[in-house]
Structures are given as C-alpha cells and as structure tokens.
Homo-oligomer: A and B are copies of this chain.
Amino acid sequence: MIKKLVDKIVETNAPIVVGLDPMMKYLPKHLADVAFEQYGETLEGAAEAIWQYNKGIIDNIYDIVPAVKPQIAMYEQFGIEGLKAFKKTVDYCHEKGMIVIGDVKRGDIGSTSEAYAVAHLGKVNVGSKAITPFDEDFATVNPYLGSDGINPFIKVCNEQDRGIFILVKTSNPSSGEFQDQLINGRPLYELVGEKVNEWGASSMDGDYSNVGAVVGATYPEMGRVLRKVMPKAYILVPGYGAQGGQGKDLVDFFNPDGLGAIVNSSRGIIAAYTKEQYAKFGEKNFGEASRQAALDMIADINGALGK
C-alpha cells in the first residue's frame, strides 16, 4: 500500500494529507441548519452535517491532494451515527481515488490488536464469509505495548496490502514527558524509531515499508535524526500550520529522493474559510477556500524542497 501512496504523491506532486477532523465550531452554519432541520438536534443531525462538510471539502481537493486523514475521535464522539459518517467518508474518498489514513491511534495486544487491525484494515470472518468493516488504507498505531501490539497489525498489512504509521514522536507540547526520556543516553523516541525500522523490514513494498512513523512537524531536529534511524519508513508529519510547523522546517523529514514524508494539515485546510487569508471565499464556499489553502500548502512545502 505504501507504494500506492508514493505513486499518488509523485503523480500529484503533493506530499500532503488533509486531516478530516470536523469540529462543530468550524462547521459552516448553513450545513448545520439544513441537517438539523432534517434530523433535529440529534446525533444523526450532527453526523449528516459532518458528512456534508466533508463532502464539500473532498469534492474540492480530490484532484490535487493524494490522501486524507480522518481523525476517528471526531466521529466517535457522535456515537454510532458519527461512525457511520466516518465510514461514509472513507468510502467516498475511495470513490474519488484518494488514499485514506485512518487516524485511529489504536493499539492493544495479541488477538485484540488483530481485531483492531481487522476492523480498520482487513476483513472479519462471519461464518463462511469475510466482510470488510471500515476499510481504511492505513491506520495510526500506538507502540506503548511493544511488538505484541504491532505484529498483529503487520500481519493484516501483509495479507491485505495495507499500511500503518506508528507514533514515534508526537507533535504536542507534552510529548516529551515520556518520549524524550533518555535510555542509555538516547531518547525513547529513538528506541521506538529503531523498532519501527526493524518491524518495517517484514513489510517492504517498493522502496519503502508499509510500516511508517508519526513524527511531529513541531520537532524538526528530532525529525532529522529519525529520518536516518528509519530510512525505509514513510513519515507522517502532523503539526503543520495550526500547530506551528512550516515548509522550511520540514525539509529534513524527507529523504534525498524527495520522498519519505507526507505532511498533514487539518484545521488549516478544512477551516480555511474562517481565516482572514481566505475570508474572501465566504462561508458558503468553504470547499473552494480549502482548495486554495491546500494549493498554498503544497507550494510552501515544494518550495522548501526546491521542487
């Protein structure tokens, strides 16, 4: 699956992913009005509004952006109805030819980790049938439980041609409380990065591995080190834009081949219409504002990479 993502990044010349993290406060009012009129102020109403919001953005970016990253928490908070909107979004992105990175941050052990892998990347056996539950192409995974938590995901990745991104160094201010602690003189995130490299060797797909890593844009100096620790891992980079990262900070997350990283922006793209820079589009044209913000982000990153 990583080869498919790399091909798509090369084709679009856009090493970016748009985080579909719909928050109610960013939802254009007219979408909520219509949905609440139809379904009331219910979970179903919220889910419908979110779905229309996503659709408006996807329709405006699918030809220029290779991948989306829906954050499942933003759907899960609306219960079953929210998760239906998540699934609808995944399917629609696939219809539009986009690759879907499920930002689910799951992780458990043994048969439980396998159940999560099956839920998001595989097929589940029901009697004599094998059925696809959520059907993302990639999922994000938490490494705190070690190999017992990761190997079941890799098994499903290899069987179904899917991929994972393992949290190595996250973009948040407190990520260092545990991740930066020194073990024999080296930070925990480096140790996790080494394991990512080791785990990834069993799932190569072209020049890169289906086992990638998450490293926050907010820590470029750590990205530089981790790029070398895990040369075959694609790095998913959150923290661009709203959290402070910029194109010029991200150069060292990439390999000399100009590949190896995909940068995520969520609010910066999906809520672009709320920003002064894109206010001219107006709330009704939130999708066009998102498209312009995506184009600007691509130009920023490609500019920094000299492409």
Contacts and interface: CB of A to CB of B under 8 A. Distances in A.
Interface stretch (A56-64, A124-132, A205-213): A124-132
Interface string A204-238: 00000000000000000000000000000000000
A143 B107 CA distance: 12
Q: Quick one: copies of this chain in the complex?
A: 2
A188 B179 CA distance: 10
Contacts of A106: 73, 105
- Interface residue tally on A, bucketed by range: 35 or more
Contacts of A299: none
A115 to B, nearest CB: 4
A111 B146 contact: no
A204 B142 CA distance: 28
A87 B175 CA distance: 32
Interface string A1-32: 00000000000000000000101100000001
10 contacts: A71-B115, A73-B113, A74-B112, A77-B119, A79-B119, A79-B134, A80-B84, A109-B170, A145-B172, A146-B176
Interface of A: 21, 23-24, 32, 36, 41-43, 45-46, 71, 73-74, 76-80, 82-84, 87, 105-113, 115-116, 118-119, 124-129, 131, 133-134, 142-149, 167, 170-179, 181-184, 188, 191-192, 195
